[in-house]
Amino acid sequence: MAVFAGELLKADYVFVSLRPLPPIERAEGLRYAIPRGFIGAEFIPKGNSVVTEVGSWSQLASMLKYDRIDVAVIPKLMVYDVFGAEGVNVYQQLAGSLPVSLYLSEFSQSNGLASEVFDAVEACRIDNPVSLITSGETSGGQKGDN
């Protein structure tokens, strides 16, 4: 059985729409789209929502543009990649955050590698990677110190 190695960082997921929407938890009857098998389904409120699964990320932008859906669910860091230059004109609401790290196999646990990975993950944990990037901090923690 695989074991989660501990949280290295968090990945934020957002609800993306082309028009302002009320808070998603209060909106009913919205049409959502996610890539097939994507974890984003976990953030969609249960109830009378309609969820469509698509084969590729690029289909999400087209479905919004042609009014086939009301909301796409994607990782926040992918908004620009999925929507391109139009990404600045979309509305975003935080859907939630999930921990990101590694999963370790049973073999790695039996040979002692797992404890080394756990220690490395703890040593490398980043609490807010986006703020580090936008503030210009480098791995040394100093601005401009490359």
pLDDT tens digits for range 88-98: 689 999 999 98
Amino acid (1-letter code) at residue 58: S
Per-residue tokens: 12? 């934020």
Q: Is the model's pLDDT at 140 over the cut of 60?
A: no
Structure-token pair, residue 84: 């391109």
Structural domains in the chain, CATH included, are 11-98 (3.40.190.10)
The answer on pLDDT for 87 being more than 70 is: no
DSSP 45: P
Q: Kindly give the residue spans of alpha helices, DSSP state H, lying in the chain.
A: 58-65, 79-83, 106-110, 113-124, 129-135
CA atoms of 109 and 122, how far apart (whole Å): 17
pLDDT of 143 higher than 50: no
Distance CA 16, CA 12 (A): 12
Euclidean distance between CA atoms 64 and 66, whole angstroms: 6
Per the CB < 8 A criterion, the answer to whether 9 and 126 are in contact is yes
Task: Provide mean pLDDT across the span 96-119.
Answer: 77
Q: Give the residue, 115 or 25, on which the prediction is more confident.
A: 25
The pLDDT of residue 141 is above 70: no
> Predicted confidence band at 144 (pLDDT cuts at 50, 70, 90)?
very low
* Terminal Cα distance for the chain, rounded: 41
**Structure pTM?**
0.69
- CA separation for the pair 141, 64 (Å, rounded): 40
Give the per-residue pLDDT at 19: 93
pLDDT at 59 over 80: yes
pLDDT at 146 over 50: no
pLDDT score, position 123: 78
CA dist 84 and 78 (Å) reads 10
pLDDT of residue 139: 40
Number of residues assigned to the chain:
146
Round to whole Å and give the CA distance between 67 and 45.
Answer: 20
